[in-house]
């Protein structure tokens, strides 16, 4: 019988083999055209990797978050990007933990098979940003059969390439709730039916090819059974999935960091200037070695967070620190790799500039470094709340 370590090692080998079919040329073309990597996502789906966290009874693999983390880390370490599909891994957790049995049987098997894509997460709004409790999109119940949704979301990635959206909306006016965390509800929206019937999607061209959009709701009617769990408890449901999100994103950053370090090390060993490899100079060696040390340290925190998550233990602090440390390590490795390559680092064909832009995202999203530091200061160190 295989151990967990053996299973994860095999997953890494298999994912690396799959990624080899999608080399730098593939990603450069997608980046240049701001196109969605449909073929890559399809290959991951057909191999079952996007269904790794879905229980076997619903058509998935029922594996641990460490297995999911290994998949995403390997994707990024191979020079590819999981940004086009990673949300499916952690968004479905809200449905799995808080959805009705009818909802789970309706959606999860189709998500596992790839018949349905659950990639869009409608939370952030233009006026509230990270202050989720101040969001203003509303879902007003109309009789017992439907809700009417009005409002706007921004930075809703993959909305154009998803069949379903997990939507957080206000079902009770802010002034009528006793606690700020109350009055928000989660819905699963079938965007195939909603487009053109009150749902409008507008792409946002950004620094990275992340297929991100603005989404507008204008009297969009959705069935009452779109509600996940109990009305008014949506914020808690969303929070449940955030530790998983942080852990998975931290491993994407670790994959990026390791790609940059391997790329810089190879180039520094081969590139000769003034008759000697540039990697023979400590001015080149030391930043790469430092980036390696920072990456390995971040990896230990990410591993600890995953272990606590799997054990059902509190892991908010560890998940946030893992995400922050891994993102910072990846950014340091990215800058070092670019500097090591000199002018060639800015050339498309080396893939460094593309990965450099992509790595920067995770210092800001899905939660910024400053918000994580504020969390640590208040919830770990016991300092006064800063906002």
Catalytic site positions: 245
Residues 190, 238: Cα–Cα separation, whole Å:
19
| Radius of gyration of the chain measured on its C-alpha atoms | 21
Residues 125, 136: Cα–Cα separation, whole Å:
8
Specify the DSSP element, H or E, that contains 299: helix 282-310
**What's the angle, vertex CA 132, arms to CA 368 and CA 35, rounded to 5?**
60
Tokens of 112: 């596992």
Neighbours of 180 (CB within 10 A): 13
Bridge partner list, 186 = 168, 228
User: What phi, psi does 110 have (nearest 5°)?
Assistant: -75, -30
* Cβ-contact 253, 212 below 8 angstroms: no
Neighbours of 317 (CB within 10 A): 18
Q: Which residue's entry shows tokens 């297995």?
A: 67
Residues 312, 295: Cα–Cα separation, whole Å:
26
Residues 6+ apart with CB under 8 A from 219: 148, 149, 150, 198
Cα 189 off chain centre by? 20
Can you spell out the DSSP letters for 195-237? BTTTEEEEE---SS----EEEEEEEEEEEGGGEESSTTBHHHH
Q: Which residue's entry shows tokens 């208040």?
A: 378
Cis peptide bond N-terminal to 366, omega within 30: yes
Residues 172, 280: Cα–Cα separation, whole Å:
64
């Amino acid at each position: 019988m295989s151990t967990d370590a053996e299973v994860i090692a095999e997953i890494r080998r298999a994912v690396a083999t799959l990624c080899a079919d999608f080399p730098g040329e593939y990603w450069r073309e997608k980046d240049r055209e701001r196109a969605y990597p449909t073929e890559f996502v399809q290959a991951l789906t057909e191999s079952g990797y996007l269904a790794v966290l879905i229980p076997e009874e619903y058509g998935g693999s029922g594996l641990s978050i460490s297995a999911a983390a290994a998949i995403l880390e390997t994707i990024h370490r191979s020079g590819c990007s999981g940004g086009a599909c990673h949300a499916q891994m952690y968004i479905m957790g809200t449905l799995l933990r808080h959805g009705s049995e009818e909802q789970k049987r309706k959606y999860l098997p189709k998500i596992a098979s790839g018949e349905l894509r659950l990639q869009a997460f409608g939370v952030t709004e233009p006026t509230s940003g990270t202050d989720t409790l101040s969001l203003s999109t509303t879902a007003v119940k109309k009789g017992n059969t439907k809700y009417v949704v009005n409002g706007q979301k921004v930075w809703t990635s993959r909305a154009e390439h998803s069949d379903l959206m997990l939507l957080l909306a206000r079902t009770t006016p802010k002034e009528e709730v006793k606690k700020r965390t109350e009055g928000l509800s989660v819905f699963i929206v079938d965007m195939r039916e909603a487009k053109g019937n009150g749902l409008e999607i507008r792409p946002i061209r950004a620094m990275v090819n992340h297929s991100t959009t603005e989404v507008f709701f204008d009297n969009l009617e959705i069935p009452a059974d779109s509600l996940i769990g109990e009305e008014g408890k949506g914020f808690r449901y969303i929070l449940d999935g955030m530790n998983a999100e942080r852990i998975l994103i931290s491993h994407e950053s670790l994959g990026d960091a390791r790609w940059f370090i391997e790329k810089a090390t190879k180039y520094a060993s081969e590139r000769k200037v003034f008759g000697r490899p540039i990697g023979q100079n400590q001015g080149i060696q030391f930043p790469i070695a430092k980036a390696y040390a920072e990456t390995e340290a971040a990896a230990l925190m990410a591993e600890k967070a995953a272990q606590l998550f799997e054990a059902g233990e509190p892991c908010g602090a560890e998940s946030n620190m893992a995400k922050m440390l891994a993102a910072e390590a990846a950014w340091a490795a990215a800058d070092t790799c670019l500097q090591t390559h000199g002018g060639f680092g800015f050339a498309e064909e080396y893939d460094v500039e593309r990965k450099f832009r992509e790595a920067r995202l995770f210092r800001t999203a899905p939660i910024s470094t400053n918000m994580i530091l504020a969390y640590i200061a208040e919830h770990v160190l016991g300092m006064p709340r800063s906002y």
